[in-house]
Amino acid sequence: MCMKAKERLRKLAEEVFEQFENGENPYIEIPIRSLRNVRFDPEKGLIMMGGEKMKRYFLNVSHAKKFMQTLMVASFVKKLLDEKVTVDMRDLFYSLKIPIPGTKDNVFNEQNESDPIVEDLEVTLDLLREEMNLKADKKGAMVGDMVIVDGGDEIDLRRQGTGGWSIPSKVEQDVIQFKEHTAKFVLFVEKAAVWERLNEDKFWKKMDCLIVTGKGQPSRGIRRLLHRMRYELGLPVIVFTDADPWGYYIYSVVKQGSINLAFLSQKLGVPDAKFVGLTTQDMHKFDIPKSLGIKLTQQDIKRAQELLKYEWFKTKEWQEEINHMLKEGIKFEQQVLSNKSIRFVSETYLPTKLEQKDFLP
């Protein structure tokens, strides 16, 4: 794998250098990572990247810095591969926060400049960042009826206390192996607080499942892990988020992939994932007073309207739910269920919905 990455980096540099030698204005061709260049593949149920590419020129005032940054990151990655070390995105940023002589500028000033350049390189070279010895920040936890091997250490996910096993950024086969399990499905929970409640109530034991939280939008590591559990272990993935446009989008990212990382959808997506809740329609089913809802903000409404237009939200059920939310003009947080009783979520809400298979597609 290391050789493949090195070769591709070298090829990129050779192409650039050759253009310089020919006296041309050198450029790098980079697939476009925006809504413009993604499409929803209904067959696969995934957001896939299109074929559009942009050319990043050196001798173009608005491209020059990014061109230089791209090659600086490429060069940095080569050093990582040469030295066989792995660093995280923040390390990369600090390593390349180099002052540019004669200016107040740096090669990179903020991490939000260097992160997209890494993504550019990933799509350009068709390499995962993990293959370039880069790792993302880890966030997210998992517990349940399963034993895994993580970096050679055997870990029993039934005995992880209140915090759970924290999911590393690299979850490929060479780092994480699944050993034994009795779980029947995986429940992905948006909010860490709700996940903690489920863990405390030993929900996973009762329902025979694995519970995972992403603490908001799930990282690539978590999504990759969900993907692996779905396809290597055959476990269905069920998603539990807030009843608001942002929660719904988290679901769609787990299911169909994201626009930004569309090129990775095949490796990260779980197209047959199901959505258990929360929905705004649950207010009727579980008799949740409307007064517990939060009024939709302008942004919420705008985002909801965008969701309505996304190809992958165009099922009857989702259109109904989103329109219902817009009609009522409210959203609910997962914790709203605590209003009934503290254990309502683990003892009544989830068991009822799971049993009735009351899912959104």
Partner 1 sequence: MTIAEELAKRQKKISVAEFFEKNRHLLGFDSKPKALLSAIKEAVDNSLDACEEMASEIMKKMERLKKKGKDISKLKEMLREILPNIEVRVMKASDRWEIVENPGPEERMVGEVYLKYGKIVDVVGMKLVSKSKEQILNSSRRALQYEFEADGYRIYVKREPAKEIPFYSVFLSSVKEGEKTVTKRFSLRTHVSRYRIWVEDNGPGIVKEQIPPIFGSLLYGSKFHRLKQARGQQGIGISAAVLYGQLTTGKPARITSRTNEKEPAICIEVQIDTLTNKPEIVFEGVDEHFKQKHGTRVEIELEGTYSINVAKFLKRTSIVNPHAQITLITPDGKKHVFKRTSTKFPKEPKEIKPHPHGIEMGILMRMLRTTKSRTLLSFLTSEFSRVGANSAKHILEKAKLKPNMDPRSLTREQANVLIKAMHEANLSRPPTDCLSPIGAEALKKSVYAELNPEFVVTTKREPNVYRGIPFQVEVGIAYGGNIKEGEARLLRFANKIPLMWDASACAITNAVKSMDWRRYGLNQPGGQGMPSGPIVIIVHFLSAWVPYTSEGKTAIANYPVIIREIKLALQECARELKKYLTKKYVMERKKRKMFIFLKYSDFLVDALSNLLDLRKEEVGKVIKKVLKERYGDVYEGEREVKEAS
Q: Cβ(273)–Cβ(239) under 8 Å?
A: yes
Closest to partner 1 by CB, 73 vs 296, is 73
Does position 161 interact with partner 1 (CB under 8 A)? The reply is: no
Does position 2 interact with partner 1 (CB under 8 A)? The reply is: no
Closest to partner 1 by CB, 18 vs 232, is 18
Does position 85 interact with partner 1 (CB under 8 A)? The reply is: no
Does position 21 interact with partner 1 (CB under 8 A)? The reply is: yes
**Binding track over 297-336 against partner 1, x by CB under 8 A:** ----------------------------------------
Inter-axis angle of helices 111-125 and 64-83, nearest 10: 70
Distance CA 176, CA 165 (A): 12
Q: What's the DSSP call for residue 332?
A: B
DSSP string spanning 94-107? HHT--BPTTSS-BS
**Binding track over 183-212 against partner 1, x by CB under 8 A:** ------------------------------
Closest to partner 1 by CB, 17 vs 231, is 17
**DSSP 3-state of 147:** strand
Of 27, 33, 46, 67, the residue at the interface with partner 1 (CB under 8 A) is: 67
Q: Cβ(255)–Cβ(269) under 8 Å?
A: yes
Of 3, 23, 104, 112, the residue at the interface with partner 1 (CB under 8 A) is: 23
Does position 80 interact with partner 1 (CB under 8 A)? The reply is: no
Distance CA 296, CA 273 (A): 27
Closest to partner 1 by CB, 58 vs 248, is 58
Does position 233 interact with partner 1 (CB under 8 A)? The reply is: no
Q: Please indicate whether residue 248 is annotated as part of the active site.
A: no
Distance CA 181, CA 183 (A): 6
- Comparing CA positions, the residue from 32, 348, 342 lying closest to residue 193 is 342
Q: Are strands 87-88 and 237-240 parallel, antiparallel or unpaired?
A: unpaired
Does position 251 interact with partner 1 (CB under 8 A)? The reply is: no
Closest to partner 1 by CB, 65 vs 340, is 65
Catalytic residue among 27, 57, 94, 248: 94
Distance CA 202, CA 211 (A): 10
- Interface region with partner 1, contact rule CB under 8 A, candidates 11-19, 214-222, 246-254, 283-291: 11-19
DSSP string spanning 23-79? T---EEEEE--SGGGEEEETTTTEEEE-S-EEEEESSSTTTHHHHHHHHHHHHHHHH
- Interface region with partner 1, contact rule CB under 8 A, candidates 10-18, 47-55, 203-211, 287-295: 10-18
Task: Show contacts with partner 1 in window 95-114 (CB under 8 A).
Answer: 98, 100-103, 105, 107
Does position 134 interact with partner 1 (CB under 8 A)? The reply is: no
- Interface region with partner 1, contact rule CB under 8 A, candidates 7-15, 32-40, 253-261, 277-285: 7-15
The distance of Cα 252 from the centroid of its chain, to the nearest Å, equals: 10
**Sign of torsion over alpha carbons 325, 328, 330, 332:** negative
Q: CB of residue 90 vs partner 1: minimum separation in angstroms?
A: 21
DSSP string spanning 194-230? HHHHHHHTTHHHHHTEEEEE-SSSPPHHHHHHHHHHH
Q: What number of H helices and E strands is found in the chain? A: 14, 17
Does position 30 interact with partner 1 (CB under 8 A)? The reply is: no
- List residues with catalytic annotation: 94
Interface residues with partner 1 (CB under 8 A) are: 9-10, 12-14, 16-17, 20-21, 23-24, 58-59, 61, 64-65, 67-68, 71-72, 74-75, 78-79, 98, 100-103, 105, 107
